[in-house]
Structures are given as C-alpha cells and as structure tokens.
Amino acid sequence: MIGKTDNKNHYMAQIQLKRDEMIQLGLEFGLASKQTVACSQELDSLLNEYNRYILSLRKRQNPKHSIKRFLTMTFFINKTGAFKKKILL
C-alpha cells in the first residue's frame, strides 16, 4: 500500500516533470503552439487531480470541517444579508 507521503511525492514529481516539459516546449515552439497548449492542459489536469487528492485527505482527517464551514457561511449570509442567494460550499 502506498502511503500518503509517497502519493504526495508521486504527484509532485509528475507535476514537476510536466512543468519542465511545458517550459521546454514553450521555448522550442512558442507559448501558443499546439504542443505547448496541450502540455499545459495536461499539467492543469495533474494539478486538479493533486488538489482533489489533498482535499480528500483533509476531508478524511476532519469530516466536520466541511459542515462547519457551510454553517459558518450560512450564518454569515443570514446575519449580514450580504448575499441574496444561499451559497453551498
């Protein structure tokens, strides 16, 4: 079984490799080239995947945090009248 640190390090290594690849493509073909843009989109996907992973770890560690944040925002909205629509976080 892969540990949390191993997973995090794996994501960070993949992100850094993709970032280096994108920089190299940008220098070679230009920032607006199809190759650079495609690599940038792949990097975005990796970053999104990493963020989802980190959020899932936080939710497992403290599942009440999300509920507490929702209730705090709902109270703020109702008390201040700052927003007319309720926002679900």
Q: What is the mean pLDDT of residues 26-46?
A: 97
The CATH code that applies to domain 4-62 is: 4.10.280
Residue 86, pLDDT > 50, answer no
Residue 2 φ then ψ, to 5°: -85, 130
- pLDDT at residue 69, rounded to an integer: 62
Q: Which residue has the tokens 């990493």?
A: 50
Q: 7-31, pLDDT tens digit by residue?
A: 899 999 999 999 999 999 999 999 9
Instruction: Give the DSSP H/E element, type plus range, for residue 6.
Output: helix 4-29
- pLDDT at residue 67, rounded to an integer: 60
Domains of the chain, by residue range, sit at 4-62
Residue 82 φ then ψ, to 5°: -65, -30
Cβ-count burial 10-41 (b if 16+ within 10 Å, e if not): ebeeeeeebeebbeebbeeeeeeeeebbebbe
Q: 47-85, pLDDT tens digit by residue?
A: 999 999 999 888 877 766 556 665 565 555 555 555 544
